[in-house]
Amino acid sequence: MKKTFRNLISKLPIDALANPAPVVAVLPLEGVIGSSGRFSNAINLTNLEDKITEAFEVYNVKAVALTINSPGGSPVQSELIVKRIRELSAEKEIPVYAFAEDVAASGGYMLALAGEEIYAHQASIVGSIGVINAGFGYPAAIEKLGIERRVYTAGESKSLLDPFKPEVEKDVKMMKGLLKEVHDFFKTFVKDARGDRLKGLQKTIFSGLVWNGEEATKLGLIDGVGDMRSVMKEKLGNDVKFKRIKEEKSLFKNLLGMRGPKASIADDVIKTLETRSEWGRFGL
């Protein structure tokens, strides 16, 4: 005979009903940040919106813990995610803490700034506060192969930094200026979030270098070395419970054919290579 919900409740200690254990909602932020079309398993606001909301609606939630494992990616998506988390934190009056796992670099570190406090493992990779644009140039290759490049545009800068043409000085200057503007945005974002907790020279902090947990603590990029469970138990007590916000199961959607556009094998390979390239910069 199945036990009813009322029977189960009646067997719980009165103290447990009156004073339920505090809960920490654990929100994993794992992968490269950007559009799903460019990276496989990408982190972006569209993919995370429901899970972020769910984290703040967990019963008796007393804090949200972000577990971050990301080499970075889009600064736009990073900022949108941080903004949404901060909005709900203020609205629900629930504190947010961030925990770097293997790596919280570049946009991954920006995600950590959603937390009012940031922690990392001693061996975590933290930082990389910089901006990069990388590619290849093939003008010599197509000349050797006897290939003629034909490009028609309306707008003198429409074929900016075409990889099949020699670099143009003014195009490179424009790109460097754009990267500087994004870097300035990133620096301001970090300064606003960390304030007087930053202790190192700005030239060093914003150089694009990375550090382990201990060094990042000395620079004020994070608040200390520690793992998520230990830190949260110290803050909320040993009886704290953890509720991990899991990925939505897709079986039902797959059965209904709700899979979205099918990608080619070549697309999948390119996405995988781009994703591996981002992780590879940090030896992962």
Q: What DSSP letter does each residue of 90-120 carry, written as one string?
A: HHHT--EEEEEEEEEETHHHHHHTTSSEEEE
Distance CA 94, CA 199 (A): 28
Q: What are the CA-CA distances from residue 156 to residues 152, 176, 179 (Å)?
A: 10, 18, 20
pLDDT value of residue 132: 86
pLDDT value of residue 162: 83
Range of the domain at 52: 10-128+209-280
Question: Is residue 69, in this structure, part of any structural domain at all?
Answer: yes
Take residue 254 and report the two structure tokens written for it: 């797959």
Question: Is residue 140, in this structure, part of any structural domain at all?
Answer: no
Question: Is residue 4, in this structure, part of any structural domain at all?
Answer: no
From first to last of the 284 residues of the chain, give the pLDDT tens digit.
445 545 545 555 555 456 789 999 999 999 999 876 555 568 999 999 999 999 999 999 999 999 999 999 999 999 999 999 999 999 999 999 999 999 999 999 999 999 999 999 999 999 999 998 888 888 888 888 888 888 888 887 788 888 888 888 888 898 999 999 999 999 999 999 999 999 988 999 999 999 999 999 999 999 999 999 999 999 999 999 999 998 765 444 444 444 444 445 445 544 455 555 554 555 44
Question: Is residue 141, in this structure, part of any structural domain at all?
Answer: no
Distance CA 204, CA 212 (A): 14
Question: Is residue 77, in this structure, part of any structural domain at all?
Answer: yes
Task: For residue 38, give the CATH number of its domain.
Answer: 3.90.226.10
